[in-house]
């Protein structure tokens, strides 16, 4: 048995990933999780039952940005009402690196937690070349996650 840190969607409670996956903190704003893909699919997506969603058509980017704005507003309200002022004050760090990832909009995939709750975080995913190999990475808004210690068997 060991200890694992589980990262859950702060607004929906959906399990999103855990620290057995290698991840890095980008600009104290975003977690980039390194995943692997096999015949079944992307490991993090499969393990946590993440559901792919689509933003398509000529207004795809507009639709995404609109949902992102709604999400950030809901997150701000929840952080404030829960008295999480440090996290609330750091939300401004997210937009720069997040919109940098969105420059690759055409090649991104979008996922929600398994509940498919509209208020939940939309995870961004792309394939990046890392050490000469293309592999999937997933991006999560750091302050939209809550860490929970869990015991594995």
pLDDT in tens, 71-109: 999 999 999 999 999 999 999 999 999 999 999 999 999
pLDDT value at position 40? 87
Give residue-wise pLDDT tens across range 104-147.
999 999 999 999 999 999 999 999 998 999 999 999 999 999 99
What pLDDT does residue 1 have?
A: 58
d(CA 8, CA 145): 5
Q: How high is the pLDDT of residue 94? A: 97
Is residue 10 pLDDT above 70, yes or no? yes
Beta bridge partners of 86: none
Q: With a threshold of 0.75, does the pTM exceed it?
A: yes
Q: Which domains does the chain have, with CATH numbers?
A: 2-152 (2.170.150.10)
Distances in Å between the Cα of 102 and the Cα atoms of 60, 72, 77, 118, 124 are: 12, 16, 24, 20, 9
Q: What is the DSSP string of 50-70?
A: -EEE---STTHHHHHHHHHHH
| Res 39: pLDDT | 87
pLDDT, the chain, mean: 94
């Amino acid at each position: 048995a060991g200890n694992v840190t589980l990262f859950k969607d702060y607004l929906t409670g959906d399990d999103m990933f855990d620290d057995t996956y290698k991840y890095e903190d980008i600009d104290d704003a975003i977690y980039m999780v390194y995943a692997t893909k096999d015949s079944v699919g992307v490991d993090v997506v499969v393990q946590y039952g993440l559901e792919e969603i689509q933003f398509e058509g000529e207004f795809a980017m507009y639709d995404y940005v609109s949902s992102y704005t709604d999400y950030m507003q809901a997150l701000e309200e929840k952080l404030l009402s829960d008295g999480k002022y440090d996290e609330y004050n750091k939300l401004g760090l997210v937009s720069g690196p997040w919109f940098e990832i969105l420059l690759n909009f055409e090649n991104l995939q979008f996922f929600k937690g398994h509940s498919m709750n509209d208020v939940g975080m939309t995870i961004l995913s792309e394939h990046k070349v890392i050490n000469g190999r293309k592999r999937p990475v997933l991006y999560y808004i750091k302050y939209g996650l809550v860490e929970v210690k869990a015991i594995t068997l």
